[in-house]
Amino acid sequence: MYFDKKSQFDWAFGLGCCDALSLLLSLGLVRWLQAASFLPGMALGPRASLLFVLVAAWMLRNSNLYTWQAFTRKRATLLGLCRALVLAAAAVAGIRLFFFRGHDREAALTLEWLALFSLAILGGVRWLYRQLTTRCLRLVAMQRVAFAGWSPHLRKVIEAYRGEMGSFHVLLGFFRGRDAAAHDEAVAAGYACLGTLELVETMIEREKVTLMLIDKQGLKTEDVMQIVEICSRHFVNVRIIPQGYAVLATKFTVRAVAGVPVINIRGLAFEHLQNRLLKRLVDLVGAVVGLLLFAPVIAVAGLLIYRESPGPIFYRQVRLGLREEPFRIVKLRSMRLDAEQSSGATWAVEGDPRRLRIGAFLRRTNLDEVPQFWTILMGEMSLVGPRPERPEFTSHFRENVPHYNLRHICRPGLTGWAAVNGFRGNTSLPERLRYDIYYIENWSLLFDFKILFLTLFRLKNAY
């Protein structure tokens, strides 16, 4: 909820009332049209019709359709409404079939008409309500925003507020903290300075500030406490960015323990037993299919590798997996046998002279990776996840890249979100880690399938 004058205008409650009215209107309209013979004969009784309305209302309530982001985005709203109404129609059909043995073509057709008319009326009423709401919010819930302190994190928050609140806010400027460099960065970013921290109370009164954003990273504890106290005296809402928020940020929840607010990190989706089993099942099927499909490729590539460089056709290397457990990956050998004899462990680079001629092709097409389906079958890797790294590199990254070890809380993958976005090999580690953490936070089977699909077209930097 981005508009804190909820006592004056509760848009979400009003939206819920509009949805309930729309469902009842659609039910009444369908029954009237069928009674007037404009639609095929009614085969759905009043109780089943009312059950559809109740199930649809429950589906809508348990979706993301009552957030400000979904409310202001037409496409997201339409897709969410479609999903909720189709599921409601399917649920009612299932209840009639399995509990009341009532299943016929006319009843199914009636449910289709109900879902269609509900979608049209809900969409229309929501559009009208959105037009009225935005005009009212500009009058009663306009936010006048100021912020204290400065950091890249705070800048992201301010930009997000701009995008999510649209024209319902006025960004006044910032109060300068103790860090002169941070002040210069904020001014360079185009934000006006409202003065020092000593002027907070004066400027709140003069500029009629309604929302204060505070970045603890740029302020002392006593400064934060003083600003919060001033805001409480002037009924100004406060949003505080905690230090260290950047990791697993979407999993933060706040709970009051003995009256003290405590920040928790909620469990990750893939940690749930049913999700682990489902992901493992997909891995097993994918590994078996992959080995069967690529067996001829492995045989032909192995023959070409041996002809160019007699010796093993497979290359085994120690990598770190789940919870930093070491395991051996198996790849088709793409470099000379003495590739690291003089240089030691090092990443491949573009035009790497250590590559075999066939190896250059294998690495460019990622066919050197296909024997890793065996590693997936053995449970040491997954189809999708952060790419596994060598211990020689990991020990250095752990000390120099903050939160690097978080990528080891899930199994490494044959492909991953960072890989399909071009962050593999000799690329930016912080950016690669950012993509890996995003994957960990937002895991779902659909996300895995999306990454597998993109792997066919977008893998880059395979030198």
Q: Which residues contact 55 (CB under 8 A, 6 or more apart)?
A: 88, 91, 92
Is 259 a domain residue?
no
| Whether residue 120 sits in one domain with residue 170 | no
The predicted model gives 214-226 an average pLDDT of 81
Is 107 a domain residue?
yes
| Whether residue 160 sits in one domain with residue 19 | no
pLDDT at 377: 93
Q: Which residue has the higher pLDDT, 167 or 113?
A: 113
| Whether residue 52 sits in one domain with residue 110 | yes
Alpha-carbon distance 117 to 58, whole Å? 18
Within its chain, how far is the Cα of 173 from the centroid? 30
Confidence grade of residue 262 (pLDDT, cut at 50, 70, 90): low
| Whether residue 203 sits in one domain with residue 281 | no
| Whether residue 278 sits in one domain with residue 176 | no
| Whether residue 316 sits in one domain with residue 362 | yes
pLDDT at 2: 34
Predicted TM-score (pTM) of the model is: 0.56
Give the domain-ending residue among 90, 108, 139: 139
Judged on CB neighbours under 10 Å (0-12, 13-18, 19+), 29 is middle
Is 48 a domain residue?
yes
Q: Which residues contact 332 (CB under 8 A, 6 or more apart)?
A: 298, 301, 302, 305, 313, 314, 315, 362, 367, 368, 370, 371
| Whether residue 224 sits in one domain with residue 194 | yes
- Compute how many other C-beta atoms are within 10 angstroms of the C-beta atom of residue 320: 20
Is 265 a domain residue?
no
Q: What is the secondary structure of 219-285 as a DSSP string?
A: S-HHHHHHHHHHHHHTT-EEEEE-TTTTTTGGGEEEEEETTEEEEEEPPPGGGSHHHHHHHHHHHHH
Contact 234, 205 (CB under 8 A): yes
| Whether residue 447 sits in one domain with residue 377 | yes
Q: Please give the angle made by the CA atoms of 452, 443 and 325, to the nearest 5 degrees.
A: 85
Is 28 a domain residue?
yes
Give pLDDT tens digits for 120-137. Answer: 888 888 888 877 877 766
pLDDT at 118: 83
- Compute how many other C-beta atoms are within 10 angstroms of the C-beta atom of residue 455: 19
Domain encompassing residue 193: 142-245
| Whether residue 328 sits in one domain with residue 432 | yes
The predicted model gives 373-385 an average pLDDT of 93
Instruction: Please give the structure tokens belonging to residue 219.
Output: 């302020």
| Whether residue 308 sits in one domain with residue 447 | yes
Alpha-carbon distance 333 to 327, whole Å? 18
The predicted model gives 134-144 an average pLDDT of 67
Give the closest residue to 123 by CA, choosing from 34, 17, 18.
18
Is 45 a domain residue?
yes
Q: What is the secondary structure of 106-160 as a DSSP string?
A: HHHHHHHHHHHHHHHHHHHHHHHHHHHHHHHHHHH--EEEEEES--HHHHHHHHH
Is 4 a domain residue?
no
Contact 413, 381 (CB under 8 A): yes
Q: What is the mean pLDDT of the chain?
A: 77
**pLDDT > 90 fraction of the chain, expressed in percent and rounded:** 11
Alpha-carbon distance 176 to 183, whole Å? 6
Q: What's the number of domains the chain is made of?
A: 3
Confidence grade of residue 140 (pLDDT, cut at 50, 70, 90): low
Give the domain-ending residue among 111, 139, 167: 139
**In the predicted model, is pLDDT for residue 462 greater than 50?**
yes
Instruction: Please give the structure tokens belonging to residue 221.
Output: 């504890």
**For helices 46-61 and 74-99, what crossing angle results, to 10°?**
140
The predicted model gives 79-107 an average pLDDT of 71
pLDDT at 344: 53
Alpha-carbon distance 293 to 448, whole Å? 20
| Whether residue 341 sits in one domain with residue 235 | no
**In the predicted model, is pLDDT for residue 399 greater than 90?**
no
**In the predicted model, is pLDDT for residue 82 greater than 70?**
yes
Q: Which residue has the higher pLDDT, 146 or 460?
A: 146
**In the predicted model, is pLDDT for residue 7 greater than 60?**
no
| Whether residue 445 sits in one domain with residue 310 | yes
Contact 92, 111 (CB under 8 A): yes
DSSP 8-state class, residue 402: T
pLDDT at 289: 93
The predicted model gives 269-295 an average pLDDT of 89
Give the domain-ending residue among 139, 155, 185: 139
- Compute how many other C-beta atoms are within 10 angstroms of the C-beta atom of residue 439: 22
Alpha-carbon distance 30 to 118, whole Å? 9
Give pLDDT tens digits for 18-31. Answer: 888 888 888 888 77
Contact 59, 88 (CB under 8 A): yes
Q: In a 3-state reduction of DSSP, which class is residue 454?
A: helix
Give pLDDT tens digits for 346-359. Answer: 555 555 667 777 87
Four-point Cα dihedral 57, 58, 61, 64, nearest 10: -110
